[in-house]
């Protein structure tokens, strides 16, 4: 019976330990794999070893758990090299340096990278002109401490999002809370969010965001306009009105074209007419009625809803139908 509490305790430790480890890793793992500096120039082996030791000491002085590591590649360490080194050393970060020595002058470039992505997070440059190797190693140690400071400053910056929309001036919501109108720059702490962009007369644009420290992302949300003709029935009625109106205009133009008489004068000054048509009045009625019908249908379909402000904003982008006189009568032009 006494074994039961012990077994339960061991089970709880087994379940909680992985969760605690993941939480510690997410909150900021201080473990860093330190690669030996790449040294270019006429430098003695013991000086190279001194530089490597000072690089590791500078990181440890800033409360980083620095672990010596060997690069998987002979020259440099790119993103793939960083990821492999991090996996082998089981560290969150990988750090390294490049030192160029010319006579008694040292140029040093230090970096620290994210072991998961291989991306460099911070860099520090240092020079030591006409100085002995001991002084150069001391400067490298101080630069390593500054490198950790730069890394922590970067991690403390919030994530940023630059939100734009088409059309502009839409309301921007984060997790249901109004933040302003587009274009808008948002700064958010690390975490997951739901972005909504709302504009009267348009369907709501929605996107899930993942905020990462010190990373700025640009988002352009294109809003889709809602139906302006009252649904399917309104769309059918609007297009039907346009079709009937266009047909009436064509019929009216034909009647106007055949209006008049076909007469000629005989030798005895007698006027003979083979046919006489008087279709001007019905022709103009058809043209006028057709134009009104087509214009009404177009307005029903394409005139923007949502008030005068919304109408002014979108009027320049709406579709148009224009009826204008031409050499043969009236013409119908449209922008769709």
> What pLDDT does 3 receive?
42
Judgement on whether residues 293 and 306 belong to the same structural domain of the protein: yes
Judgement on whether residues 183 and 68 belong to the same structural domain of the protein: no
> Widest CA span of the chain, in angstroms?
140
Judgement on whether residues 61 and 47 belong to the same structural domain of the protein: yes
141 HSE (CA, 13 A, CB side): 14
**Which residue among 109, 131, 156 closes a domain?**
156
Judgement on whether residues 111 and 188 belong to the same structural domain of the protein: no
| Alpha-carbon separation of residue 270 from 146, 150, 261, 277 (angstroms) | 114, 109, 15, 20
Residue 12 within any structural domain of the chain: no
Residue 61 has pLDDT above 80, yes or no: yes
Closest CA to 228 of 218, 239, 220: 239
306 HSE (CA, 13 A, CB side): 18
Residue 75 within any structural domain of the chain: yes
Judgement on whether residues 293 and 270 belong to the same structural domain of the protein: yes
All residues at 6 or more sequence positions from 264 whose CB lies less than 8 Å from its CB, including other chains: 271, 272, 273, 274
Domains contained in the chain, number:
3
Is-contact 293 247, C-beta < 8 A? no
Judgement on whether residues 98 and 165 belong to the same structural domain of the protein: no
Backbone angles phi, psi at 215, to 5 degrees: -110, 125
**Which residue among 105, 140, 156 closes a domain?**
156
Judgement on whether residues 35 and 118 belong to the same structural domain of the protein: yes
Is-contact 170 197, C-beta < 8 A? yes
250 HSE (CA, 13 A, CB side): 6
Q: How far apart, in whole angstroms, are the C-alpha atoms of residue 332 and residue 193?
A: 50
Quote the domain boundaries for residue 152.
30-156
Residue 212 within any structural domain of the chain: yes
All residues at 6 or more sequence positions from 244 whose CB lies less than 8 Å from its CB, including other chains: 290, 293, 294
Residue 11 within any structural domain of the chain: no
**In 3-state terms, what secondary structure has residue 168?**
coil
Q: What mean pLDDT comes out for the span 159-184?
A: 92
Residue 7 within any structural domain of the chain: no
Percent of the chain with pLDDT over 90: 41
**Which residue among 222, 240, 275 closes a domain?**
222
> What pLDDT does 193 receive?
92
Residue 1 within any structural domain of the chain: no
Residue 73 within any structural domain of the chain: yes
Q: ∠149-152-154 over CA atoms, to 5°? A: 110
* Banded model confidence at residue 30, pLDDT cuts 50, 70, 90: confident
Q: What is the CATH number of the domain that holds 208?
A: 2.60.40.1120
Q: How far apart, in whole angstroms, are the C-alpha atoms of residue 188 and residue 158?
A: 6
Judgement on whether residues 151 and 163 belong to the same structural domain of the protein: no
| Alpha-carbon separation of residue 193 from 155, 170, 219 (angstroms) | 19, 18, 14
Judgement on whether residues 213 and 319 belong to the same structural domain of the protein: no
Q: What is the CATH number of the domain that holds 50?
A: 3.40.50.10610
Judgement on whether residues 150 and 163 belong to the same structural domain of the protein: no
pLDDT digits (tens, 9 = 90+) for 176-227: 999 999 999 988 888 899 999 999 989 999 999 888 766 778 899 999 888 6
Q: What mean pLDDT comes out for the span 51-74?
A: 89
Residue 9 within any structural domain of the chain: no
> In this predicted structure, which of 20-34, 131-145, 198-212, 251-265 has the lowest mean pLDDT?
20-34
Q: What's the pTM?
A: 0.48
Judgement on whether residues 42 and 147 belong to the same structural domain of the protein: yes
Residue 10 has pLDDT above 50, yes or no: no
Judgement on whether residues 149 and 92 belong to the same structural domain of the protein: yes
């Amino acid at each position: 019976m006494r074994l039961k509490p012990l077994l339960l305790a061991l089970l709880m430790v087994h379940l909680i330990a992985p969760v605690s480890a993941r939480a510690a890793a997410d909150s900021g793992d201080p473990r860093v794999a330190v690669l030996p500096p790449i040294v270019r120039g006429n430098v003695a082996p013991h000086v190279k070893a001194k530089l490597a030791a000072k690089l590791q000491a500078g990181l440890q002085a800033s409360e980083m758990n620095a672990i010596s590591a060997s690069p998987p590649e002979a020259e440099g360490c790119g993103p793939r090299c960083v990821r492999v080194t991090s996996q082998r050393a089981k560290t969150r970060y990988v750090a390294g340096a490049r030192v160029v020595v010319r006579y008694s002058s040292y140029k040093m470039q230090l970096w620290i990278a994210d072991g998961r992505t291989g991306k460099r997070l911070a860099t520090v440059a240092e020079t030591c002109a006409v100085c002995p190797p001991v002084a150069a190693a001391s400067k490298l140690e101080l630069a390593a401490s500054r490198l950790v400071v730069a890394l922590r400053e970067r991690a403390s910056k919030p994530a940023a999002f630059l939100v734009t929309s088409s059309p502009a001036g839409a309301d921007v919501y984060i997790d249901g809370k109004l933040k302003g109108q587009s274009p808008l720059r948002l700064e958010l702490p690390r975490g997951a969010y739901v972005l909504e962009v709302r504009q009267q007369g348009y369907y709501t644009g929605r996107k899930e965001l993942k905020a990462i420290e010190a990373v700025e992302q640009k988002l352009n949300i294109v809003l889709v306009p809602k139906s302006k003709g009252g649904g399917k029935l309104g769309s059918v009625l609007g297009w039907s009105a346009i079709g009937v109106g266009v047909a009436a205009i064509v019929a009216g133009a034909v009647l106007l074209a055949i209006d008049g008489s076909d007469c000629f004068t005989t030798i005895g000054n007698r006027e003979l007419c083979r046919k006489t048509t008087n279709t001007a009045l019905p022709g103009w009625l058809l043209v006028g009625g057709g134009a009104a019908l087509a214009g009404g249908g177009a307005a029903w379909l394409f005139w923007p809803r949502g008030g005068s402000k919304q109408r002014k904003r979108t009027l320049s982008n709406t579709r148009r139908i224009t009826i204008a006189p031409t050499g043969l009568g009236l013409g119908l032009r449209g922008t769709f």
